[in-house]
């Protein structure tokens, strides 16, 4: 029995989020934990979704944008209209992400340049100190 579902505390620990966050995501219809009586039980699907949510956040997407994207990932067959809608959304997101990647690479390059300049300056200063001693 490899604990098919997680309770809220286990979920928090597994993903390093607070219970409040999980409930908030449920309220926003990003997660759909099942209920055992009153309590929430997070399924494998919820875990997959949360992983994508947190990733989306790191890339600057809003929860609402993420919610829409998630539909593509857990789309079970038989929802033709939704599927093609999700597909278009995904294309847009993909474009965003590839643009972001390009810019990120540029930014990394520039930051490295600046750091090289800084390192040189620091070396010079260290040199002066030694010369003075």
The answer to the question of residue 119 lying near its own copies (CB under 8 A) is: yes
Strands 34-36 and 39-41, by their bridges, are: antiparallel
The answer to the question of residue 92 lying near its own copies (CB under 8 A) is: no
- Give the integer Cα–Cα distance in Å for 3 and 114: 50
Residues 29-48 contacting its own copies, CB under 8 A: none
Torsion of CA 29, 83, 70, 99, to 10 degrees: -140
Whether the CB-CB separation of 9 and 3 falls below 8 Å is answered with no
Residues 41-100 contacting DNA, CB under 7 A: 57, 62-64
The answer to the question of residue 101 lying near its own copies (CB under 8 A) is: yes
- DSSP letter for each residue of 47-103: HHHHHHHHHHHHTT--HHHHHHHHHHHT--SS-HHHHHHHHHHHHHHHHHHHHHHHH
Stretch that binds its own copies, among 2-10, 19-27, 39-47, 91-99 (CB under 8 A): 91-99
Binds 120: which of its own copies, DNA, none (CB < 5-8 Å by kind) = none
The answer to the question of residue 9 lying near DNA (CB under 7 A) is: yes
What residues line the site for its own copies (CB under 8 A)? 55, 58-60, 72-73, 75, 77, 80, 83-84, 86-87, 90-91, 93-94, 97-98, 100-101, 103-105, 107-108, 111-112, 114-115, 118-119, 121-122, 125
């Amino acid at each position: 029995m490899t604990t098919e579902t997680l309770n809220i505390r286990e979920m928090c620990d597994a993903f390093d989020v607070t219970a409040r966050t999980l409930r908030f995501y449920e309220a926003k219809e990003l997660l759909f934990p099942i209920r055992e009586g009153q309590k929430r039980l997070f399924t494998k699907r919820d875990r997959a979704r949360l992983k994508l949510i947190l990733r989306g956040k790191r890339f600057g997407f809003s929860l609402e944008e993420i919610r829409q994207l998630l539909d593509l990932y857990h789309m079970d067959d038989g929802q033709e209209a939704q599927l093609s809608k999700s597909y278009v959304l995904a294309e847009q997101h993909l474009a965003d992400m590839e643009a972001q990647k390009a810019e990120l690479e540029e930014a990394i390059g520039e930051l490295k340049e600046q750091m090289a300049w800084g390192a040189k300056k620091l070396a010079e200063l260290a040199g002066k100190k030694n010369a003075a001693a």
